[in-house]
Homo-oligomer: A and B are copies of this chain.
Amino acid sequence: MATVWTDSIRDDIPRIEEFILETIHSENSELDEMCRYVVESGGKRVRPIVCLLSHLALGGQDRERAIHIGSAFEIVHSATLIHDDINDGGELRRGRRTLHREYTLTKAIVAGDFMLTRGYKALGNLPEEAMQVIANAASAMSEGEFTQQDFERVATVTEADYFKIINGKTAVLINAAAMAGAFLVTKDHDKLSVIDQYSSKIGLAFQIIDDMLDITGSKKTGKRVGIDMTEGKPTLPVIYAMQDPKHGDEIRSLFTDRDITPEEVERSLELIKETDALARCQRKAEELADEAVSIIRALPESPYRESLEGLALYIVRRDM
């Protein structure tokens, strides 16, 4: 195993950053500045990385094209974050003011559309099958967002509802990025299926950890905790905590409260931490990562396959 899981693509990672900046460049200096503001805020570049590694692990040779396509997914993802932050009334993202707070709401909507468009264009002419995966992903993203909104502050939300939401919110785009990288190499159903299953599982694990970080906080990102609770977002820690015999009733009542105060949010986080919800979430995420690792081992051994294994483990151990 490589000492650092990104070793096999060390020289490619700067190209991802370069290509993202090239792709979002606008002649309008303010629009350009806004887009840079968003993409330079330190994302983990999971989508380009998984696209590139999937491509290489299947024996693909076209690093440049895989970088371009993976980066295009990252731009699409960043665009959706702009609109999500508007929808959530979010003030901070990764320790900095959200775009619509730093600039204006109206310009942020336009900038989001601009990045969405540039991202889709940068995907270029992909194989028909890849286009289908992307079209399905786009539908699942919007539909997942609708489901999430429908379950805001609804105490009857189930684990199954949650997985439907995070599938659309996170997993499908990570999956589509991986599959796009794979379709450049092969049409073999078995190989594609390995990438398909692997990437879906790490996508789900990724979002579970993200939702845990909203409770436990992260030293690195500066993201405030309790945002999901403030907004009544149904997350797995909350769903599990509402099942707790001791604190479940109180957490349910806080979760469904439209007028929850900052003190009550704080209280709810304390209560959640006293239940086994976070431990159950961590276990769930690790199970998914372990499954992803054992699935990806069906591919021939290579530094890229090792990196994909490392990526799955990194995702569930990260603290940002």
Q: Does A301 reach chain B (CB closer than 8 Å)?
A: no
Q: Does A27 reach chain B (CB closer than 8 Å)?
A: yes
Q: Which residues of B contact A141 (CB under 8 A)?
A: 113-114, 117
A83 touches B113 (CB 8 A): yes
A6, B135: Cα distance in complex, Å: 33
Q: Does A116 reach chain B (CB closer than 8 Å)?
A: yes
Report the stretch among A41-49, A102-110, A204-212 that lies at the interface. A102-110
Q: Which residues of B contact A145 (CB under 8 A)?
A: 110
- Selected A-B contacts with CB under 8 Å, 22 pairs: A28-B142, A30-B146, A83-B110, A86-B109, A87-B105, A87-B109, A87-B110, A104-B149, A107-B149, A110-B149, A112-B113, A113-B113, A116-B116, A117-B135, A117-B138, A117-B141, A117-B142, A120-B120, A121-B131, A121-B134, A124-B131, A125-B131
A72, B113: Cα distance in complex, Å: 16
> How far is the CB of A90 from the nearest CB of chain B, in Å?
12
When the two chains form the complex, which single residue of B87, B104, B109, B128 contacts A83, counting CB atoms closer than 8 Å? B109
Q: Does A143 reach chain B (CB closer than 8 Å)?
A: yes
Q: Which residues of B contact A243 (CB under 8 A)?
A: none
Q: Which residues of B contact A295 (CB under 8 A)?
A: none
> How far is the CB of A233 from the nearest CB of chain B, in Å?
12
Q: Which residues of B contact A118 (CB under 8 A)?
A: 135, 138-139
Q: Does A31 reach chain B (CB closer than 8 Å)?
A: yes
Q: Which residues of B contact A87 (CB under 8 A)?
A: 105-106, 109-110
B143 touches A26 (CB 8 A): yes
Residue of B whose beta carbon sits closest to that of A147: B28
Of A30, A121, A149, which is in contact with the most chain B CB atoms at under 10 Å from its CB? A121
B26 touches A142 (CB 8 A): yes
Q: Does A80 reach chain B (CB closer than 8 Å)?
A: yes
Q: Does A111 reach chain B (CB closer than 8 Å)?
A: yes
Q: Which residues of B contact A107 (CB under 8 A)?
A: 146, 149
Tally chain A residues at the interface, Cβ within 8 Å: 40
Where the two chains meet, the residues of A that have a C-beta atom closer than 8 Å to any C-beta of B are 26-28, 30-31, 79-80, 83, 86-87, 104-107, 109-114, 116-118, 120-121, 124-125, 128, 131, 134-135, 138-139, 141-143, 145-147, 149
> How far is the CB of A143 from the nearest CB of chain B, in Å?
4
A146, B31: Cα distance in complex, Å: 8
Q: Which residues of B contact A86 (CB under 8 A)?
A: 109
A149 touches B31 (CB 8 A): no
Known contacts A121-B135, A135-B121, A138-B117; is-contact A143 B31 (Cβ 8 Å): yes
A28 touches B109 (CB 8 A): no
A26 touches B139 (CB 8 A): yes
Of A110, A118, A120, A139, which is in contact with the most chain B CB atoms at under 10 Å from its CB? A110
In the complex, given contacts A83-B113, A113-B141, A114-B138, what are 9 additional A-B residue pairs having Cβ atoms less than 8 angstroms apart?
A28-B147, A31-B142, A86-B109, A87-B110, A110-B142, A114-B141, A118-B138, A120-B121, A121-B138
